[in-house]
Amino acid sequence: RRAEAQGKEIKKTDYEGQYEIWQLHMYYDVDEEGEEEDIVISYHRNTGAILRCIYNPLFRKFRPFQDFVFYPTEYCFDGEGICEILEPLQKVADTLMNQTLDTQTLMNAPWIFVRGGIGLDDLRPSPGKTIPVLGELEGNIQIIQHPGPPPVTFQTADRINSMADRAVGITPAVMGISTAERPVAKETVALQTEANKKFKSGIDNLRDKLSEFAWKLIDFFTQYQPTYKYGEMDEEKTIKFPTEYMRDGINIELATSSEMLNQEIRREITLTIYQILSDYMTKIAGMAQMLVNPQVPSDFKKMILDGNKISVKLLNRLLEDFEIKDADDLVLDIEKSMDTEKAIQESIDKMQPQKPPQGGGGQGGGPPMAPQGAMPPQAPGGLGG
Tell me, yes or no, whether 311 lies in a domain: yes
- 325 pLDDT band, cuts 50/70/90, is confident
Give dist(CA 104, CA 109) in Å, integer. Answer: 9
Q: What is the DSSP letter of 116?
A: T
Overall average pLDDT of the 352-362 stretch: 57
- Asked, for residue 237, whether it belongs to a domain, the answer is no
Q: What is the mean pLDDT of residues 257-262?
A: 50
pLDDT interval class at 378 (50, 70, 90):
very low
Classify 272 as helix, strand or coil.
helix
Of 21 and 264, the one with more pLDDT: 21
What is the C-alpha separation between 117 and 346, in angstroms, rounded? 122
In a domain, 190, yes or no: no
> Do residues 51 and 36 lie in contact, with contact meaning Cβ atoms separated by under 8 Å?
no
Give the pTM. Answer: 0.47
Q: Would 309 be classed as within a structural domain?
A: yes
Q: Does residue 49 register a pLDDT over 80?
A: yes
| Rounded-to-integer distance, Cα 41 and Cα 37, Å | 12
Query: Which long-range contacts does 135-144 make (Cβ < 8 Å, 24+ apart)?
Result: 139/115, 140/114, 140/115, 141/112, 141/113, 141/114, 141/115, 142/112, 142/113, 143/110, 143/111, 143/112, 143/113, 144/110, 144/111, 144/113
Whether 324 is in a domain gets the answer yes
pLDDT in tens, 246-256: 777 777 777 65
> Is the pLDDT assigned to residue 364 strictly greater than 60?
no
Domain, as residue range, for 296: 263-345
Specify if 45 maps to a domain. Answer: yes
Percent of the chain with pLDDT over 70: 80
Domain assignment present for 325: yes
Helices 185-195 and 197-224, axial angle in degrees (round to 10): 50
260-266 long-range contacts, CB within 8 A, separation 24+: 260/196, 260/199, 262/176, 265/176, 265/189, 265/192
- Rounded Cα gap, residues 50 and 265, in angstroms: 59
pLDDT digits (tens, 9 = 90+) for 88-142: 999 999 999 999 999 888 888 888 887 777 767 777 777 877 777 766 777 777 8
Rounded CA-CA distance 46/375 in Å is 114
pLDDT value of position 112: 80
**Number of domains present in the structure of the chain:** 2
Q: Is residue 27 part of a domain?
A: yes
